[in-house]
Structures are given as C-alpha cells and as structure tokens.
Amino acid sequence: MKEDIFDVLIYLFENYLDGDSDNYPDTSVIASELLDAGFQQPDVNRAFDWLESLADIETISTIASPSFRIFGSQEMAVFDLECRDFLMYLEHTGILSPANREIAIDRAMALKEEEITLDKLKWIVLMVLLSQPGDSAAFSRMEDIVYDLIPTSLH
C-alpha cells in the first residue's frame, strides 16, 4: 500500500489535531508512532513541514466586498473544475472566507501533487479551518461535509 504525505496528514488530524491541544505528545513521540504505523520518514517530515507552514500563516482579516477568484494556469492544472466549484461553493455558503480560501489553495499547492482530488481538498479545507481561530461553526459545517453527514450539492 502506497502511503504519502496526505495519508500522514489525515492520520495526524484524526489522532491528534482534532482533540485537546493540551495533551499532545512531543513531536518525536508522534514521529515514532507514525513510523511504527508504517509511514515513511520523508512523508512524515514533509507532513510536519506542511503543518508547520500552516501554523505559521497568520490569521488574515478581510473586509467583505464583492469579488471573484480567477485561477492561474498552474492552479487549474492542480484543481479540476469540480474542486474549483467546490471552493466557490464553500465561500458562497460562508464556510470559507476569501482569506481562508487562499490559505486552502496555498496548502493544496504545497502538496506538490499533479492533481488534488475533491476528497483531499475537503480534508485540506478542514485542516485550514482548524488552524484559523474564531469560527467553530464553519469548522463544524466542514467536518460534516468531510464525513459525508450533509450533502454538498442539490440534485
């Protein structure tokens, strides 16, 4: 089974990030646990770097104004139409602010994958929302979407 950085990130989220931050073990303990679970050292290192970069992003406050997002050619190569539409849906419904949308795009691009799937994008957005203080309602709504508790489109 091929594991990668994204699998490490999901493992970390489900086992550490979505809990009580006062009880986190040391990163070396977590890294050892990841290696024991079968993840490769380079993927573990890249996952920690990815999370550290996410933590280093300062909260950006935005002023609500009518605007739109144009995706560049590199972004369009990574995000298919379904992913781009999903980001716009999240922003339109108030789950993502324009600033958090940009952070999610940045973190997805930082994975350096040829294409981001919709499922991966959902997880990335969830991790971004967890890292940004102040909007637990948006995080809860996104968590419901990730775990398929609510539909994301009407038929």
Last residue of a domain, one of 56, 80, 97: 56
Give the count of domains, the chain.
2
Task: Judge whether 139 lies within some domain.
Answer: yes
Residue-range definition of the domain harbouring residue 111: 66-155
| 52 or 154, which is more confident | 52
Residues 45 and 74 in one domain: no
pLDDT recorded at residue 27: 84
Q: What is the DSSP string of 88-107?
A: HHHHHTTSS-HHHHHHHHHH
Task: Judge whether 153 lies within some domain.
Answer: yes
Beta strands, E only, the chain: none
CA-based angle 134:70:66, to the nearest 5? 55
φ, ψ (nearest 5 deg) of residue 43: -70, -40
Residues 76 and 47 in one domain: no
Q: Is the pTM of this model over 0.75?
A: yes
Residues 70 and 101 in one domain: yes
Residues 31 and 82 in one domain: no
pLDDT digits (tens, 9 = 90+) for 66-79: 667 899 999 999 99
Spatial contact of 105 and 75, defined as CB atoms under 8 Å apart = yes
Q: Residue 121: exposed, middle, or buried by beta-carbon count in 10 A (0-12, 13-18, 19+)?
A: buried
pLDDT digits (tens, 9 = 90+) for 100-139: 999 999 999 999 888 999 999 999 999 999 888 777 889 9
Task: Judge whether 61 lies within some domain.
Answer: no
Beta-bridge partners for 79: 116
pLDDT digits (tens, 9 = 90+) for 22-33: 566 788 889 999
Residues 50 and 79 in one domain: no
Residues 78 and 144 in one domain: yes
